[in-house]
């Protein structure tokens, strides 16, 4: 049997973190088993579905590399098929027309609530013969007795009594099919073997199973993924920060870091934190998905991003970093080799934005000295040390790390002071106080001309000019 999973978003917003995780789990499961992954756009809610949202979902999936093997299928293109199945259910007596008025249904509901009963349709039209020309909905004839059993691959056995379910509307008065009907038809027609989705759909599953059984169609396996909470314990939402996947691109995250973060959101493999894509595919399994909700932790995502930034191909990082430098008004072709700067700086940044910020000083004058750094570095003797080192650097015919290092060493010796007395003022003079790597490397990358100019600026600053 070929395993087939699907991601079935409703295009009513961007691709959010929860949706992306569901998509990732479905994608991984298909990849792991050499199966297929289907993308289905559930756009039957015409009021809320937008093309922009479809585009945002496709864009998010592309950025994360969650390529699909089939689709995107649009439910709005499949109304004919849904109506065909509704007709079939009607013909077999598995569904019926219902002309109950809004008033009747509201009254029923109020009465049930007053009696502390669960509001549900009472089957009033079950055995009535409604004229098809009258306005009506179509309801599925849910079995009255027995239980529905779900062998959920994450939650285990879930049993729901049919007496808890009512006769669900499968076609509205305007002729449009409802969610549960379209999902049942699509999961069947598309040959879906494993439905992996958020546990907010768990209450729909018994209804869908009943319809599949009524139609004599195979029931897929189900896996309901627990929800994601914000750090305050509430369901993850906009107020917890970025929830749109594409926001993470803008915020300077690498897609592989977000994927790694998402896979660990509810799934674990021992205490391993870093997973390459191949490892994820090999090791992922549904039975290791946690049954309890998971909590979104931005700090951990930043840590992961830093790990991936440290090991990513410098040319690729350079490519990605260029636009963030551009946002700061920096043209990286005017200055040191960007890949060299990246290798020097990247372990100090958690995002590409931070990396751009702490690398800016290699390419342009900083606005001002960081106050704290300046206070620490520009103490008594600093101006003299800077003067001496500046003269020696100015005299250099060769500009490389070794010669720069030697100049610092000789200055220290000549002045008979500790290394820090020269190194600290020099570092602050050339960086302004930004995080930086080994001093000789920093000075080398900043370049001779800018180094000398900045030393002059620091001396003037110390002198109070």
Contacting range for ligand GLU; rule: CB under 6 A; set: 2-10, 345-353, 358-366, 381-389: 2-10
* 300 tagged catalytic: no
Contacting range for ligand GLU; rule: CB under 6 A; set: 3-11, 57-65, 238-246, 276-284: 3-11
Task: Rule CB under 6 A: choose which of 21, 171, 197, 346 binds ligand GLU.
Answer: 197
14: region left, alpha or beta (phi > 0 left; psi from -120 to 50 alpha): beta
| Maximum pairwise Cα distance, the chain | 106
Shortest spacing between CB 121 and ligand GLU, in angstroms: 22
Shortest spacing between CB 201 and ligand GLU, in angstroms: 5
Of 229, 4, 7, 212, the closest CA to residue 89 belongs to 212
Shortest spacing between CB 205 and ligand GLU, in angstroms: 9
- The residue whose two tokens read 């750094």 is 373
Before 72, cis peptide (omega within 30)? yes
If the CB atoms of residues 12 and 323 are measured against ligand GLU, the closer one turns out to be: 12
If the CB atoms of residues 70 and 438 are measured against ligand GLU, the closer one turns out to be: 70
Shortest spacing between CB 7 and ligand GLU, in angstroms: 8
What tokens does 252 get?
A: 């300077």
How far from the centroid of its chain's Cα atoms is residue 99's Cα?
A: 44
Beta-bridge partners for 163: none
Binding mask 165-194 for ligand GLU (x = CB under 6 A): ------------------x-----------
Residues binding ligand GLU: what is the number (CB under 6 A)? 7
Site for ligand GLU in 36-65 (CB under 6 A): 42
Tell me how far apart the alpha carbons of residues 190 and 206 are, in angstroms, rounded to a whole number: 20
Nearest position to ligand GLU, beta carbon: 197
Residue 9 as a binder of ligand GLU (CB under 6 A): the answer is yes
If the CB atoms of residues 78 and 197 are measured against ligand GLU, the closer one turns out to be: 197
Shortest spacing between CB 73 and ligand GLU, in angstroms: 12
Binding mask 200-239 for ligand GLU (x = CB under 6 A): -x--------------------------------------
Tell me how far apart the alpha carbons of residues 24 and 4 are, in angstroms, rounded to a whole number: 14
- The residue whose two tokens read 């001002």 is 368
Residues 6+ apart with CB under 8 A from 309: 254, 257, 317, 346, 349, 350, 351, 352, 355
DSSP 414-452: HHT--HHHHHHHHHHHHHTT---S-HHHHHHHH-HHHHH
Backbone φ, ψ for residue 5 (5° rounding): -120, 170
CA angle (431, 435, 437) in 5-degree steps? 90
CA angle (195, 196, 198) in 5-degree steps? 125
- The residue whose two tokens read 């999961």 is 187
Residue 30 as a binder of ligand GLU (CB under 6 A): the answer is no
If the CB atoms of residues 44 and 431 are measured against ligand GLU, the closer one turns out to be: 44
Shortest spacing between CB 338 and ligand GLU, in angstroms: 41
If the CB atoms of residues 237 and 323 are measured against ligand GLU, the closer one turns out to be: 237
If the CB atoms of residues 9 and 226 are measured against ligand GLU, the closer one turns out to be: 9
Shortest spacing between CB 178 and ligand GLU, in angstroms: 12
Tell me how far apart the alpha carbons of residues 49 and 41 are, in angstroms, rounded to a whole number: 10
- Cβ count within 10 A of residue 365: 12
If the CB atoms of residues 183 and 214 are measured against ligand GLU, the closer one turns out to be: 183
Residues 6+ apart with CB under 8 A from 380: none
Q: Is 351 within 8 Å of 322 (Cβ atoms)?
A: no
- Point out the catalytic residue in the list 238, 310, 375, 413: 238
If the CB atoms of residues 10 and 387 are measured against ligand GLU, the closer one turns out to be: 10
Q: How many residues does the chain have?
A: 465
Task: Rule CB under 6 A: choose which of 4, 5, 8, 30 binds ligand GLU.
Answer: 8
Shortest spacing between CB 204 and ligand GLU, in angstroms: 7
Residues that bind ligand GLU (CB under 6 A): 8-10, 42, 183, 197, 201
Active site residues: 238
């Amino acid at each position: 049997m070929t395993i087939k999973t699907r991601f079935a978003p409703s295009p009513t917003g961007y691709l959010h973190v929860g949706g992306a995780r569901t998509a990732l789990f479905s994608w991984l499961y298909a990849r792991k088993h050499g199966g297929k992954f289907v993308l289905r756009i559930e756009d039957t809610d015409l009021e809320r579905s937008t093309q922009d949202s479809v585009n945002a979902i496709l864009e998010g999936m592309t950025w994360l590399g969650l390529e699909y093997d089939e689709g995107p299928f649009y439910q709005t293109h499949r109304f004919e098929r849904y109506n065909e199945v509704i007709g079939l259910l009607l013909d077999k007596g598995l569904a019926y027309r219902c002309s109950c008025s809004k008033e009747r249904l509201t009254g029923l509901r109020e009465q049930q609530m007053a009696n502390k009963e669960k509001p549900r349709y009472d089957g009033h039209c079950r055995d009535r013969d409604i004229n098809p020309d009258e306005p009506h909905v179509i309801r599925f004839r849910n079995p009255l007795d027995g239980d529905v059993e779900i062998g959920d691959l994450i939650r285990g056995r879930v049993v729901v009594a049919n007496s808890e379910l009512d006769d669900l509307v499968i076609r509205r008065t305007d002729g449009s099919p409802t969610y549960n009907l379209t999902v049942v038809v699509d999961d069947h027609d598309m040959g879906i073997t494993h439905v992996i989705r958020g546990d907010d759909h768990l209450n729909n599953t018994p209804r869908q199973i009943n319809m599949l059984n009524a139609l004599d169609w195979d029931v897929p396996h189900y896996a309901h993924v627990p929800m994601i909470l914000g750090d305050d314990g509430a369901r993850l939402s906009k107020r917890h920060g970025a929830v749109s996947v594409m926001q993470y691109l803008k915020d300077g995250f690498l897609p592989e870091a977000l994927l790694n973060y998402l896979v660990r959101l509810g799934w674990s493999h021992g205490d391993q934190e870093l997973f390459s894509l191949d490892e994820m595919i090999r090791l992922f399994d549904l039975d290791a998905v946690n049954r309890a909700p998971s909590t979104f932790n931005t700090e951990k995502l930043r840590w992961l991003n830093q790990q991936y930034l440290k090991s990513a191909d410098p040319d690729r990082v350079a490519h990605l970093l260029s636009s963030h430098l551009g946002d700061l008004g920096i043209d990286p072709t005017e200055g040191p080799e960007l890949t060299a700067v990246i290798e020097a700086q990247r372990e100090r940044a958690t995002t590409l934005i931070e990396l751009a910020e702490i690398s800016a000083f290699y390419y342009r004058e900083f606005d001002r000295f960081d106050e704290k750094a300046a206070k620490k570095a520009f103490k008594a003797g600093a101006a003299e040390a800077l003067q001496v080192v500046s003269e020696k650097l100015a005299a250099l015919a060769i500009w490389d790390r070794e010669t720069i290092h030697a100049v610092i060493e000789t200055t220290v010796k000549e002045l008979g002071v500790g290394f820090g007395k020269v190194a600290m003022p020099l570092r602050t003079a050339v960086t302004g106080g930004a995080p930086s790597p080994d001093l000789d490397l920093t000075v080398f990358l900043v370049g001779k001309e800018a180094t000398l100019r900045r030393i002059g600026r620091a001396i003037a600053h110390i002198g109070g000019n």
